Amino acid sequence: MVEITGTTRLYGILADPIHHVKTPQMLNAFMAQEGIDGVTVPMHVGADDLAALMAGLKHMKNLGGLIVTVPHKTAVLDLCDEVTDSARRIGAVNTIRRTADGRLIGEMLDGKGFVGGLIAGGIAPEGRSAYLAGAGGAANAIAFALAQAGVSRLTIANRTRAKAEDLADRLKDAFPGLQVDIGSPDPSGHDIVVNATSLGLRDGDPLPLDADRLAPEQIVAEIIMQPEQTALLKAAAARGCRVHFGKPMLACQRELMAAFLELSAPAGTAE
Ligand SMILES: NC(=O)c1ccc[n+]([C@@H]2O[C@H](COP(=O)([O-])OP(=O)(O)OC[C@H]3O[C@@H](n4cnc5c(N)ncnc54)[C@H](OP(=O)(O)O)[C@@H]3O)[C@@H](O)[C@H]2O)c1
C-alpha cells in the first residue's frame, strides 16, 4: 500500500452491513500496484443517514469517489448531481466520481462487469439468446448490459413476477427492437443461462431454475462468487454445459471502476 500523506486522495465504499466487503482490498491492491496516490476505506452508513453523509462528502476536497453496495445502490441515484443514461435506466448506481468542482457523477457497472467478464471468458453475448433468473438490482443491471451487448432475445424469470414484468417493460422502452419475454423456471431453448438471483449463496438454497431442463449446448453463468462452485454450476456441469463463474464479473468491474474513477498514476510513476 502506498504511504498515506497530505496529497492522498480518498475513496470510500458505502454499505450496511460492511464487514464482508472486498472492494477496499481490491482497489487498494490495484492502486499500490499502479503507484496511485489513493486509498479506499469502508464507510459504514445506514439508510437513514445516507443523504446527510452524501451531502457532507461533496464538500470533501480530497474525495476521489465512492463505491456503493447493498442496500444503497438505488437510494444513492437521487443523491448524485448527475448520473449516466444507463444508470438512470437501470435505476441504480454503484460507482460515483467526485469532480474537481465537487459534483458527484454516478454510474452503474454491475452489468457491464458481468458482460465484460463473459467476453473475457470467450463468451460473446452478441447474437445469442439469453435466459436471466432474477429481477433484483444485479439482474436489472445485467439485463440492460446484455441488451446493450446485442443478445438476440432475452427471457426474464423471477419469483416475483411483477418485478420481471417491470424490468421487461423498461427494457422494451430502451431497446424497442429486442424481444423480451417473461419466462418460467425452464431455461431450455436459450444459448446463455444466467443466475442473477441471490440463490446459491447459502448451503441448502433451492436452485434458481430447473437444472433438469439444461442441455449440453447451453452456457450457464453465475453471479454468486462464494462459493465459486454453486449447486447450479455443479448441476450444469453434470449435464455437460459450459459454466462461467461469478468472479470474472468483479474482476472486470475493477477495470471499469478504475477507468470511471479516473484512477491513474502521475506520468512516469507507474511500475
Ligand atoms: N459477482 C459480482 O460481482 C456481483 C455483483 C453484484 C451482486 N452479486 C450477487 O448478486 C446477488 C443478488 O444481488 P442483488 O443486489 O440483485 O439482490 P436483490 O436486489 O436483493 O435481488 C435478489 C434476487 O434474488 C431473488 N431471490 C432471493 N431469494 C429468493 C428465493 N428464495 N427464491 C427465489 N428467488 C429469490 C429475488 O427474487 P424476488 O424479486 O422475488 O425477491 C431477486 O430476483 C447477491 O447474492 C450478490 O452476492 C454479485
| Residues 120 and 221 occupy one common structural domain | yes
What pLDDT score was predicted for residue 1? 65
| Amino acid type, 28 | N
Annotate 186-229 with DSSP letters as a single string: --TT-SEEEE-SSTTSSTTPPPSS-GGG--TT-EEEE---SSSS
- The low-confidence residues of the chain, meaning pLDDT below 70, are 1, 266-271
Listed residue (4, 56, 38, 14) closest to 258, CA to CA: 38
| Residues 34 and 163 occupy one common structural domain | no
For atom 15 of ligand 1, the residue with the nearest CA is 137
Domain-embedded: residue 4: no
**Is residue 134 in contact with ligand 1, taking CB distance under 6 Å?**
yes
Return the C-alpha cell found at 166: 417491470
| Residues 198 and 139 occupy one common structural domain | yes
**Is residue 198 in contact with ligand 1, taking CB distance under 6 Å?**
yes
| Residues 78 and 90 occupy one common structural domain | yes
What pLDDT score was predicted for residue 22? 86
Cα–Cα distance between 105 and 93 in angstroms, integer? 9
Q: What is the CATH number of the domain that holds 69?
A: 3.40.50.10860
| Residues 68 and 120 occupy one common structural domain | no
Beta-strand runs (E) in the chain: 9-15, 38-44, 63-68, 82-83, 95-98, 104-107, 129-133, 153-157, 179-182, 192-195, 219-222, 242-244
Mutate to test the pocket of ligand 1, among 197, 205, 245, 253 (most ligand atoms within 8 A of CB): 197
Q: What is the CATH number of the domain that holds 232?
A: 3.40.50.720
What pLDDT score was predicted for residue 266? 63
Cα–Cα distance between 19 and 23 in angstroms, integer? 11
Cα–Cα distance between 257 and 141 in angstroms, integer? 15
Give residue 42 CA to ligand 1 midpoint distance, Å.
Answer: 22
Strands 153-157 and 129-133 come out as parallel
Query: Which atom of ligand 1 is nearest the CA belonging to 223?
Result: 1
| Residues 127 and 233 occupy one common structural domain | yes
What pLDDT score was predicted for residue 271? 37
What pLDDT score was predicted for residue 239? 98
Into how many domains does the chain fold? 2
| Residues 135 and 101 occupy one common structural domain | no
Q: Which residues are known to be catalytic?
A: 73
Q: What values do phi and psi take at 6, rounded to 5? A: -70, -15
**Is residue 110 in contact with ligand 1, taking CB distance under 6 Å?**
yes
Give residue 134 CA to ligand 1 midpoint distance, Å.
Answer: 7
**Is residue 246 in contact with ligand 1, taking CB distance under 6 Å?**
yes
Q: Are 31 and 256 in contact (CB under 8 A)?
A: no
pTM listed for this prediction: 0.91
**Is residue 200 in contact with ligand 1, taking CB distance under 6 Å?**
no
Query: Which atom of ligand 1 is nearest the CA belonging to 197?
Result: 24
Return the C-alpha cell found at 182: 417473461
Mutate to test the pocket of ligand 1, among 110, 198, 199 (most ligand atoms within 8 A of CB): 198
Q: Which domain holds residue 212?
A: 111-249
Domain-embedded: residue 269: no
Residue 231, classed as helix, strand or coil, is: helix
**Is residue 199 in contact with ligand 1, taking CB distance under 6 Å?**
yes
Give residue 120 CA to ligand 1 midpoint distance, Å.
Answer: 23
**Is residue 226 in contact with ligand 1, taking CB distance under 6 Å?**
no
List, for residues 147-182, the tens digit of each pLDDT value: 999 999 999 999 999 999 999 999 999 999 999 999
Domain-embedded: residue 2: no
| Residues 49 and 63 occupy one common structural domain | yes
| Residues 46 and 59 occupy one common structural domain | yes
